[in-house]
Amino acid sequence: MAEKIIMGKEGKLQVPNNPIIPFIEGDGIGPDIWKASVRVFDAAIKKAYGGSKEIEWLKVLAGEEAFIKTGEWMPLATMQAFKDYLISIKGPLTTPVGGGIRSLNVALRQELDLYVCLRPIKYFEGTPSPMWQPEKVNMTIFRENTEDIYAGIEFMTGTPEAKKLLTFLMKEMDVKKIRFPETTSIGIKPISKEGSERLIRAAIQFAINHKLPSVTLVHKGNIMKYTEGAFKNWGYELAEREFAGEVYTWQQWERTKKESGEAVANEEMKISAIGGKVIIKDAIADNFLQQALLAPQDYSVIATLNLNGDYISDALAAQVGGIGIAPGANINYKTGHAVFEATHGTAPRFANTNTMNPSSVILSGVMMLEYMGWRDAAELITNGVAKTIRNKTVTIDFYNLMKAATLLKTSEFADEVIKNL
C-alpha cells in the first residue's frame, strides 16, 4: 500500500517501499519532458529493486494548467500536498506576468522555507562544452534560498513607501551616499546569522558525508562588509565551532603560519583535504567566477548567498552543457521538505514539439532518489544518461554542437536512457 514519506525523530527521512510523491508536469515543454522522465524513473526503480520498491506518482496542479482549471496559479491543495508528502518533483512553471504572485517557485521556496538551493555541476563525457577540459569541473553549489536582495523587499521610486524610507535614511540615519534621492528605488538586503549558518552547515555536512575535499564560501565581503562579509565570518566561526576535528579552515592556517612560522603548502591547502579533513576556504565572487574557468579542479562544494548563487549556478552549468542538462533541488534539511526541479524555464516556443532535452528533470530525479536513499536506482540512471550521451544519441540542443551525432526526440532520448540503464 502506498504511504507518505515522513521525517523520523532523529532527523532522518523514513521512506516506505511505496512512497507517494507529488509531481507537477510544468508548463510549455514541461509535459513532454515529464512524460519522458517518469518512464526513466520507473524503469530504473524496477531494474534496481525488482518490484520490491515503487513510487506512486500523485499529479498536482500549478502554473498555467492550474490557472485554466481552477483560476489559481498555485492552488492551496497543491501547496498542501507539497507540505504533506515532504518530497516532490516539478517541471518548469510560467511566471505569471503582472500583479499577484511574483513567481510560483519563489512562493514554494518561501512557504516551505526551502533554504538550500542545491545545484550539482557534473560533466558527462562527450557533452558539448565551451571548456578546454570540462572533466575538471565537478562542483556542488549550496545557494542560500530565502534571504538577500531576493527577499523581495523593494520599493519603487516615487511611491510613499520609497519616500518614507529615503527620508528616514537621510534624516535619521544621516546617510549621505544616495546620489539621486528624487529618482531612487530602494531594495533591502537582509542577511542573518541563522540563515547563513544553516546554509553553510548543510554544505559542510554534505562535504563530510561525501568525502569531498573542500567547501568554499563565495561572497562580496570586500564591498558589502556587514552582509556578505559577515556571511564569510559566520561561516568560518561555525566551521571551527561545530565541525572541529573534521575541517581545517584558512583562518586556522593563517593562525598556524603566524604562530609557528610554518605554513602548510599552498597547493595542499587548495585541493586536498589535510589528514582527511575538509578544507574551508573563501573566495570573492568575481574572482571565483574567473577561477571556476581557469582552475575548476580547485573547487568542490560552494556555499554562497542568494544573488551570487543565482549567477554562479547558471555560469557553472554552462561549463558542463547548459541548462538543458542541469538538475536542481530546493531543500529544508530540518523538516525534510524537498522540491526537485528542472533548472530551465518553460521554453514556450518549443511546447509540444517533443524535441527538448529531458536530462534536467531526469537528473533532478537522480538527486531525488539519492535524497530518498534509493542509491542503486539513482546510479543506474546516471550511468544510462552517461552512456546515451557518450553514444552521441542526443536531442537537438546537443546535436547542433556535436559531430556525427544521431538526433533524437525527447521521448526517444528517454527510450535510449532506459536501454542503457
* CB of residue 317 to ligand NAD, shortest distance in Å: 11
Does the annotation count 314 as an active-site position?
no
CA 142 to CA 304: how far, in whole Å? Answer: 6
Closest approach of ligand NAD to the CB of residue 209, in Å: 27
94 contributes a contact to ligand NAD by CB under 6 A: yes
For residue 2, give the amino acid letter: A
Instruction: Determine whether 69 is an active site residue.
Output: no
Least distance to ligand NAD, CB of residue 114, Å: 13
Which residue out of 113, 310, 314, 415 is catalytically annotated? 310
37 binds ligand NAD (CB under 6 A): no
Alpha-carbon span 170 to 181, nearest angstrom: 9
**395 contacts 408 by C-beta, under 8 angstroms:** yes
Interacting stretch for ligand NAD, rule CB under 6 A, among 52-60, 168-176, 270-278, 340-348? 340-348
Place of cell 544519441: 393
CB of 102 to ligand NAD, least distance (A): 10
Q: Does 93 bind ligand NAD (CB under 6 A)?
A: yes
Closest approach of Cβ 374 to ligand NAD, in Å?
Answer: 24
Contact 117, 303 (CB under 8 A): no
The catalytically annotated residue of 53, 90, 220, 277 is 220
Catalytic-residue membership of 220 = yes
Which C-beta is closer to ligand NAD: that of 7 or that of 107? 107
Which of 123, 150, 299, 371 is the catalytic position?
Answer: 150
Task: Give Cβ neighbours of residue 172 (< 8 Å, ≥ 6 apart).
Answer: none
Binding mask 343-372 for ligand NAD (x = CB under 6 A): -xxxx--------xx--x------------
Rounded to the nearest 5°, which phi and psi values hold at 391?
A: -75, -5
Tell me which residue has its CB nearest to ligand NAD. 345
Nearer to ligand NAD, 195 or 324 (CB): 324
- x-or-dash string of contact with ligand NAD, 104-143, rule CB under 6 A: -x--------------------------------------
Note if 286 is an active site residue: yes
Residue with Cβ nearer ligand NAD (278 or 408): 408
Smallest distance, Å, CB 358 to ligand NAD? Answer: 7
Binding residues with ligand NAD: total (CB under 6 A): 17
**Residues of this chain, 15-34, that bind ligand NAD according to CB under 6 A:** 29
Place of cell 537522480: 366
Give the relative orientation of helices 306-319 and 285-294 as an angle to the nearest 10 degrees: 10
Positions touching ligand NAD (CB under 6 A) are: 29, 92-95, 105, 323-324, 341, 344-347, 356-357, 360, 397
Supply the residues annotated as catalytic.
Answer: 150, 220, 286, 310
